[in-house]
Amino acid sequence: MFLRSRPSPKKFLICGPSLSAIGGITEVMCGLLDALKAHGRTDFSYFDTFANRRFKAQGSSRITVLQMIGLIPLTVGYLKQLHTTGCRVVILNTSSFWGFWEKAWLAALAKMLRKKTVMVVHGSHFLQFTNNSRCRVFILFLLRRCDKVAFVSREMTSCFINQGIDASFIQNGARNPLDLADPSSPNKPILLKQHTPFLIASISLLEPRKRILQIIAAFKLARETAAAKGQNIRLIIAGTGPLEREISDYAEKTDGVDFIGEVRGQKKADLFRYADAIIQNSEIESFGLVSVEAMLANRLLISPPVGILEKYEDELEGAYVKSPSVGINSETIGKAVDLLAADGRLNETLARATVFAEKFAWGATVAQWIELAEAPIKQH
């Protein structure tokens, strides 16, 4: 029945997760679509690959029978979207595990229908997934079948080029979270257990590599030290994910820590508005979206050097409070609190960070994504 739909002219179809889902790719896709709209590009449409998913994807390279069955409604919805839009290029966004097999299937369907395909790989853990997979050779074969392949990590780009993939680097963008505020929404402060002069916020997907429990443990010690100096600090944990219950329980038992769950839109804008500093503790990042968001929002960043913080370490000297690579400790948090109390040094730090982050705002990076999408057409 879907073949009866009358196609509307859309040159490019972007495939990715639900725009209401959690995770870095969702944030990137929302920012990208807003940036394309701001640039007057109405020839891009979006296909939600989560909308027709019936079974939860697992963190494994194995393909289960349930996931194969789940491909049926996904395929029907996808073919309908291809026909409705009449697109020439399909841009598939993936990370790792089941998501890659799913996007590889969609890419194969597009190729059969003589569409150009672009595979964009997010998440630095994709390299580990590929190297550890028994299907490594097949993964490389699937990547070679795409017209263009791009990685959001320079390290991954180099590694896959060395494995014979004609890969390119694509720079992710970020939105200023303060811009997510709804002007018509009442300006309500985030509810905390008590008022505090210095509020430090952690915003992330609650999974092991984010090391949230380490942040809380370090904060407990830092709060005691701060109290001895007459400083009152609090930590707010925001996010959702596999470790949500464990982190919520730990936060509830810890003085000075609040857990508020998932934040997005107005609630996320409010958190960035009221927080004095943003703390991150990821083991590995391909980009580091929240770090850039903190800088764009003119908030002090506390983080180990991962993602772009590592790649631009010299340029970022003095632009944020850097923790050891092994993770956040109480001394790092103490340095941040002292900096928050020193207006002159704080303003200088924030100014450096903002200048750096502007290079990664969507207004500066969207042109690369447009060029990537148009590349398969220009090649022929």
Q: Say how far residue 160 (Cα) sits from the centre of its chain.
A: 21
CATH number of domain containing 264: 3.40.50.2000
- Please tell me whether residues 182 and 83 are part of one structural domain: no
Spatial contact of 281 and 210, defined as CB atoms under 8 Å apart: yes
Are residues 190 and 202 both part of a single domain?
Answer: yes
Asked whether residue 25 falls in the same domain as residue 93, the answer is: yes
Return left, alpha or beta for 114; rule: phi > 0 is left, psi -120 to 50 is alpha, else beta: left
- Cα 102 to the center of its chain, rounded Å: 20
Same domain for 320 and 210: yes
Number of domains in the chain: 2
**Shared-domain flag, residues 124 and 183:** no
∠ CA 65-207-96, rounded to 5°? 45
State whether 26 and 111 are in the same domain: yes
Q: Measuring CA to CA, which residue among 247, 246, 245, 243 is closest to residue 235?
A: 247
Q: What is the pLDDT of residue 58?
A: 46
Using CA atoms, how far apart are residues 6 and 360, in angstroms rounded to an integer?
A: 38
- Closest C-alpha to 33, from 52, 13, 11, 49: 13
Q: Indicate if 184 and 267 belong to the same structural domain.
A: yes
What are the mean pLDDT values of the chain's consecutive 10-residue runs (380 residues total)? Answer: 52 92 86 95 93 52 58 91 95 81 92 96 81 84 95 90 94 93 61 62 91 96 93 93 94 93 90 94 91 96 95 94 96 96 90 96 96 88
pTM above 0.85, yes or no: yes
Query: 305 and 167 in one domain?
Result: no
In the chain the beta strands, taken as DSSP E runs, fall at 12-16, 44-48, 89-94, 116-121, 148-151, 167-169, 198-203, 233-238, 257-261, 277-279, 300-303, 321-322
CB 57 within 8 A of CB 97: yes
The rounded Cα 345 to chain-centroid distance in angstroms is 30
Distance CA 92, CA 170 (A): 13
Task: Say whether both 23 and 12 belong to one domain.
Answer: yes
In DSSP notation, 145-175 reads: HSSEEEES-HHHHHHHHHTT--EEE----B-
| Strand-by-strand arrangement of the 148-151 sheet | 44-48, 12-16, 89-94, 116-121, 148-151, 167-169
Pairing of strands 198-203, 167-169: unpaired
380 SS3 class? coil
Cα–Cα distance, 195 to 33 (Å, whole number): 37
Q: How far is CA 250 from CA 47, 208, 234, in A?
A: 38, 15, 15
What pLDDT is recorded for position 66?
56
Quick one: 340 and 232 in the same domain?
Answer: yes
Residues 203 and 116 in one domain: no
**Same domain assignment for residues 164 and 202:** no
HSE-CB at 32 with a 13 A cutoff on CA atoms is 25
Report d(CA 379, CA 8) in Å as an integer.
Answer: 24
Domain encompassing residue 41: 2-173+362-378
